[in-house]
Amino acid sequence: MKKVRLSSLPLLLALLHVLESPGLWYLHILKHMNMAVRAVPYLTFNGNCREAMGFYKECFGGELSLQAIAETPMAARCPSGMQQHIMHSALIKGDFLLMATDMVGPAGFIQGSDMAVSLDFGDEQEIKTCFEKLSAGGNIFEPLRDAAWGALFGTAQDKFGKVWMFNCNKK
């Protein structure tokens, strides 16, 4: 298993900064879930996240939350042309949750590799076991660690190239 370090505005580190932002409604959602593991699609767009998520809201209904880069601690590190790009968004309707961003890794936007699956666990042993198994033969972008929002968090790419985000809120 190799560890990989990403550089220059990587999606995964950008997400960490968003989730560390005060008042994040996402925490409220995760803390009140009663499921052991929940898989949530996390889509990446090439500067048109706001438009795409607006379209999905028209299709699915629900409540849409958008957070622009300018509203986050990452604003100072991003060029002025990116300030209105979306750092994090979520469309919520009942148990339905779709998340998305305009943030891309150092390789830029690559059609076809523009989605991660966010896994939310209710048990620390389960997240550790799953992280170890899914990252075997792949790459660890962010090892499991205690995060500022009170969760165990990490990201990894499996041996098939799929990116997984792991989150387990501490009780």
Q: Name the strand (E) or helix (H) holding 55.
A: helix 49-60
| Domain total in the chain | 1
**Region at 134 (left for phi over 0; alpha for psi -120 to 50; beta for the rest):** alpha
pTM: 0.62
CATH code at position 34: 3.10.180.10
Strand partners, 98: 91
171 residues of the chain, pLDDT tens digit each: 433 333 323 344 444 444 444 334 444 444 544 456 888 898 888 888 999 999 999 988 999 999 998 988 878 888 888 888 998 899 998 888 989 988 876 677 776 667 788 888 988 999 999 999 989 999 999 999 998 778 899 999 888 788 888 999 887
Give the contacts of 158 (CB within 8 A, at least 6 positions apart). 134, 135, 137, 138, 164
- Rounded Cα distance between 123 and 132, Å, is 15
Report the alpha-carbon distance of residue 35 to residue 45 in Å, rounded: 28
Burial of 62 (0-12, 13-18, 19+ CB in 10 A): middle
Phi, psi of 164 (to 5 degrees): -125, 135
Provide the domain limits for residue 81. 2-169
